[in-house]
Amino acid sequence: MQFDIITIFPEYFVSPLETAVLKKARQKGLIQIRVINLRDFAFDKHKMVDDRPFGGGEGMVFKPEPLYRAIDALKAEPPAPWVVYLSPQGRLLNQNVVKELYEKRRLVLICGRYEGIDERIREYCIDEEISIGDYVVFGGEVAALVIVEAVSRLVPGVVGCKDSVEKESFSQGLLKYPQYTRPREFRGWKVPEVLVSGDHARIARWRRQKSLEITLKRRPDLLKKASLTEEDRQILRELGWKE
């Protein structure tokens, strides 16, 4: 899996990309991440990448020329990339979108700043816009890191245990069941007996029921799209779910 990140703050990525799982995945060659400084594609002596908006208004807008040159240069390299602009106006990121991005195999992630980018680049050079939530941050860098981490987790070998990825929250449309570890009792609070019973069938049923219960309580909207069995539906009805 390859990521090319276009930004005016390449230093933003130094520490995250050299830490923990991402560092190990890069060292193993499981993922490739390049951080491209947009200013390298600005050919004036001041390396200007932004200018005032036509029509007036606050802030600055990324100029089309540097962005076009950067995208064009990356598109000239195989394999063909999927170009994503990180924007509050984009499609909301969720696990299904993450899986779609993983299938692209190579992503170019454009980190906007200020008042955004020239509309001509959005119209003619971008394949998709993605938002990480209904809020505004300083720029697209944090969103790019979210996508890099979320997509990288799907690359075989990046996460040590495949089952961990397949059973985590959102992977099956539900929130994950509660987790416990040693000691079995802490300050009088005990681990549920079923988890130490050794009965794997009972444990699986308990975990499924808890996933359903937690999802109904915290994110009932997810149930509309989750893949539910008739047994799941019966459990949810007993918990007060209105289909």
The alpha carbon of 157 is separated from its chain's Cα centroid by a whole number of angstroms, namely 18
Q: Find out whether 88 and 138 touch, Cβ atoms under 8 Å.
A: no
Rama region for 26: left / alpha / beta (φ>0; ψ in -120 to 50; rest): alpha
From residue 102, alpha-carbon distances to 89, 167, 227, 233, 240 in Å are: 21, 18, 21, 31, 37
Q: What DSSP character marks residue 18?
A: T
Tell me if the bond preceding 183 is cis, omega within 30° of 0: yes
Per-residue model confidence (pLDDT) at position 166: 58
Q: What DSSP character marks residue 221?
A: G
Per-residue model confidence (pLDDT) at position 163: 54
Q: Find out whether 19 and 50 touch, Cβ atoms under 8 Å.
A: no
Per-residue model confidence (pLDDT) at position 44: 86
Per-residue model confidence (pLDDT) at position 165: 58
Q: In the chain, what is the straight-line distance between the N-terminal and C-terminal CA atoms, in Å?
A: 40
- Domains 2-152 and 169-238 are alike in CATH topology: no
User: Considering Cα of 91, then 96, then 98, then 100, what sign does the dihedral take?
Assistant: negative
Domain ranges of the chain: 2-152, 169-238
Per-residue model confidence (pLDDT) at position 12: 97
Question: How far is the C-alpha of 82 from the C-alpha of 240, rounded, in Å?
Answer: 43
The correct CATH number of 169-238 out of 3.40.50.300, 1.10.357.10, 3.40.190.80, 1.10.1270.20 is 1.10.1270.20
Per-residue model confidence (pLDDT) at position 57: 87
The correct CATH number of 2-152 out of 3.40.190.10, 1.20.120.400, 3.40.1280.10, 3.20.20.140 is 3.40.1280.10
Q: Could you state, in chain order, the average pLDDT of each consecutive group of 10 residues for the chain (243 residues)?
A: 98 95 96 98 91 92 96 97 96 96 98 93 96 94 98 94 57 87 93 95 96 95 92 95 89
Per-residue model confidence (pLDDT) at position 116: 92
